[in-house]
Structures are given as structure tokens and as C-alpha cells.
């Protein structure tokens, strides 16, 4: 297989969705260059208005970053901080729930395409700062908020990238969402 140098410019085009069919084929037919993740991270870093180091991108607007204090948090592209990345960031969003057929038909068309009320509800998650809709989930009422992705960041940097993070031993891989929910119970 042909080994192809993938320039930062090409990764930029990939990010912007303006890559040509020919370039897609070239990418598919070549070995992945070792520093592609690095180039991707650099490009993302150039596009956000803050300085915290991006460790991983979770979705279009959500990043796991390392703050200058060393803390690892999830953060919106607008700068809003959701706290420890091991807590489901959705729990710190503004949440709109659609339960009735009237509410659902505002976002589903035609009406027969709507989820069935009583069996399912639509939950919309918004950034409390910029108001961007960050996620949508359709689940039975009462079903826990889905934690879409709890990345093993240290395992990824160590095993996949071959360059362990300097603070690798400080973040145990665990879901800490319940700790937040328990703290709400105490407040109540």
C-alpha cells in the first residue's frame, strides 16, 4: 500500500467537510500517518477561543481538556465548563423533555414518525452558557441519562498513541456521575 504524507491542510479540509473525492480515496488507500491525531488536535486547538489543552474531542462542541491547574474537565466550545470529565456532562446541561404528541410533533414530521408518548420521551440537552443543543436522546421515561462516552484517556494516549500523559496516574478510569447525583440528593 502507498504511504502518503497527510498534510495539516488536508486534515483541515477533512474537518471542514470540503475534501474532494480523490483526496478521500487517497486517504483510504494509504496507511494512517502516525501524527495525524496530533495534527487534528492542533487544528481543533486553533479553532477554540480558550487556551486549555484539548486532550480529546467528544462531539462537535464538547471537549475533554486539561486546565492550567492540571484538572481534566469536559468543556463546551464556547468555554462553559462542565466539570470532571468522568461525570456525565449532560447532567450539567439545561434539559428540555418532550412527552406529549404535540411537543414531539414540533420536531418530528410527519406525526406518525413520533416516538410513542408514555413509552418514550425526547430529551434535549443545551449548554447553559451558549444555548447550543449538544445532544438529543429518546428513551423510556425514568431511564437514566445516557453517558455516551467515558473515554479511557490515559489508555488511549499510552497504548494507541505511544505517548503517555504526564499526569496519567492521577485520573482513575471510573464513572463519577453518581457522585453528582448523590450530592443533589443531599441538597434536597
**100 belongs to the binding site for Zn ion (CB under 5 A):** no
Beta strands (DSSP E) in 20-177 are 53-57, 62-66, 72-76, 81-84, 94-98, 121-126, 133-139
Q: At what angle do helices 21-28 and 8-16 cross, to 10 degrees?
A: 120
Burial of 144 (C-beta count, 10 Å sphere; 0-12/13-18/19+):
exposed
**183 belongs to the binding site for Zn ion (CB under 5 A):** no
**101 belongs to the binding site for Zn ion (CB under 5 A):** no
Binding mask 124-153 for Zn ion (x = CB under 5 A): ---x-xx-----------------------
How far apart are alpha carbons 46 and 145 in whole angstroms? 32
**78 belongs to the binding site for Zn ion (CB under 5 A):** yes
Span of 7-15, 26-34, 122-130, 135-143 interacting with Zn ion by CB under 5 A:
122-130
**58 belongs to the binding site for Zn ion (CB under 5 A):** no
- # residues near Zn ion by CB under 5 A: 6
For residue 52, which of 60, 44, 185 has the smallest C-alpha distance?
A: 44
**Residue of the chain from 39, 66, 75, 80 that contacts Zn ion (CB under 5 A):** 80
Positions in the binding site for Zn ion (CB under 5 A): 76, 78, 80, 127, 129-130
Amino acid at each position: 500500500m502507498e504511504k502518503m504524507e497527510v498534510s495539516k491542510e488536508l486534515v483541515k479540509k477533512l474537518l471542514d467537510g470540503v475534501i474532494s473525492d480523490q483526496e478521500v480515496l487517497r486517504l483510504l488507500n494509504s496507511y494512517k500517518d502516525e501524527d495525524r491525531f496530533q495534527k487534528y488536535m492542533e487544528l481543533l486547538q486553533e479553532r477554540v477561543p480558550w487556551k486549555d489543552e484539548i486532550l480529546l474531542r467528544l462531539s462537535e462542541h464538547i471537549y475533554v481538556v486539561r486546565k492550567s491547574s492540571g484538572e481534566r474537565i469536559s468543556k463546551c466550545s464556547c468555554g462553559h465548563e462542565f466539570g470532571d470529565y468522568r461525570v456525565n456532562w449532560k447532567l450539567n446541561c439545561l434539559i428540555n423533555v418532550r412527552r406529549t404528541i404535540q411537543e414531539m410533533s414540533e420536531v418530528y414530521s410527519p406525526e406518525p414518525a413520533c416516538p410513542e408518548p408514555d413509552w418514550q420521551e425526547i430529551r434535549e440537552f443545551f449548554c447553559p452558557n451558549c444555548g447550543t443543543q449538544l445532544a438529543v436522546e429518546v428513551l423510556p421515561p425514568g431511564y437514566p441519562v445516557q453517558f455516551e462516552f467515558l473515554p479511557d484517556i490515559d489508555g488511549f494516549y499510552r497504548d494507541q498513541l505511544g505517548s503517555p500523559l504526564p499526569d496519567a496516574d492521577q485520573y482513575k478510569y471510573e464513572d463519577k456521575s453518581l457522585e453528582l447525583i448523590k450530592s443533589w440528593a443531599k441538597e434536597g
